[in-house]
Each structure stands twice: as C-alpha cells, then as structure tokens.
Amino acid sequence: MNILKVKELSIALNGRPIIENLSFRLESDQRLFLQGEIGCGKSTLLHCLLGFVPFQHGEILLFGTPCKSEVDFSPFRGKIGLCFQNPEDQLFGPTVLDDVAFGPLNLGLSQTEAYAAALKAVEALDIAHLKNRPVNLLSGGEKNFTALAGVLAMNPSALFLDEPTNGLDSKNIEKMTALLIELHLPMLIASHDQLFTARMAHQILSLEKHR
C-alpha cells in the first residue's frame, strides 16, 4: 500500500517556484531519502506533504486519500509523525515528559495513558534520564531525541524526518540510525548526512534547485 503518493506537485513561495512537477511514492516498507543542495526545497516539501505549506498544482494522497485543505490533512498528522529540522520548533515543554505527552493528549488519550505512552517513548529512545528536565535546558542533540520521542509517543504509521542527525555526534548518529531501523516504519527523510543516508536509504530522491 502507498503511504504517500505525490503527482505532478508544484510549490511556489512568494511567487518563486520551489518544487516543480514532482511525482513520487512512499511505499509501506520503504525508507526514501530526499537530497539536494541547500535551499532546494526539502523542508518545504515535507511541510507541504502534511498541509503546513500550500501547493499550487498537482496531487497529494496520504494513505490513498487526496489531501488539499486543512480538513483533509489534519486526520493524518497523528498518523504520520513529522520532525522539524529545528527541534525547537516543536518542543513546548515544560519538561521532557510533559512535552512528549503533549501529542498523545492531543489525540484524546487520558492523562494516565498519555504519560504512559510518553514514558514508553523516552525509554525506547534511551532518554528516560531526561524526563524531568525543562526542555529549554536540553542540548541540541537531546532536543532531537526529545522531538522524535514526542512523535513516537503518538504511535505513528510513518515518519517524515527533516535532518534527524543534525547536531548529533558520531556515537549518537549510530544510536539514532539503529533506533530508526528498529522501528520498521516507512520514512521520508531529508538529509545531507551521506553516511547516514548510505546506511538507511532504500531509495534516494534528488531535488533540483530552481533559481
């Protein structure tokens, strides 16, 4: 089954074409990597695929459903976990555990269920020792793992990740790689990290920069 199908998609920002006539699919057992020089539109595309950036032409189908407006995309935002390039854009706090519980609470889980899901996610990512730490005191790499825990606590069926190894040292890139492989989820990942890509990617989609 296709998790995502993109047909002849074009995105412009302030009248400037960023993505033009792009078609591709993400299959249920696939880790697809997005590559291309800085500013070619990887983040814009990831945001557009969950309805956070509008598109001008083409079609986006999530789990077979055509999505165009806010109301079409919103049911899929819990099903597909998006991690932003800058984890600070998605951390609310106050503590790590509160932050990770935010998604499940938003999905309608009870306080007890949401905090249990959050605890399971921080344990799975080996950051349980950070659970009571205020998010503003986390290091950059710790913020990456916390943002991923927040997404995993919602029990997603797929992940869209924007530069997940940003700010990580080689030991933690290794840890992130192993954790992601172990999840066995379909993933669309934007990354400049060649080694990480070589380890993880089933397929690579290269985006062109439009000047």
Give the residue with the Cβ less far from ligand ATP, 13 or 181: 13
Minimum gap (Å) between residue 206 Cβ and ligand ATP: 11
The residue among 38 and 71 lying less far from ligand ATP, judged by its C-beta, is 38
CB of 24 to ligand ATP, least distance (A): 15
Strand 16-27 vs strand 31-35: parallel, antiparallel, or unpaired?
Answer: unpaired
* 159 backbone dihedrals φ, ψ, rounded to 5°: -125, 140
Q: Which is nearer to ligand ATP, 137 or 204 (CB)?
A: 204
Identify the sign of the CA torsion 89, 30, 51, 116: negative
* Closer CB to ligand ATP, 104 or 141, in the complex: 141
Backbone angles phi, psi at 184, to 5 degrees: 50, 45
Instruction: Find the shortest distance in angstroms from Cβ 170 to ligand ATP.
Output: 21
d(CA 9, CA 34): 15
Residue 15 C-beta: closest distance to ligand ATP, Å: 9
Bond preceding residue 17 cis, omega within 30 of 0: no
Residues 207 and 42: beta-carbon distance below 8 Å:
yes
The contact set with ligand ATP (CB under 6 A) reads 13-14, 18, 36, 38-44, 85
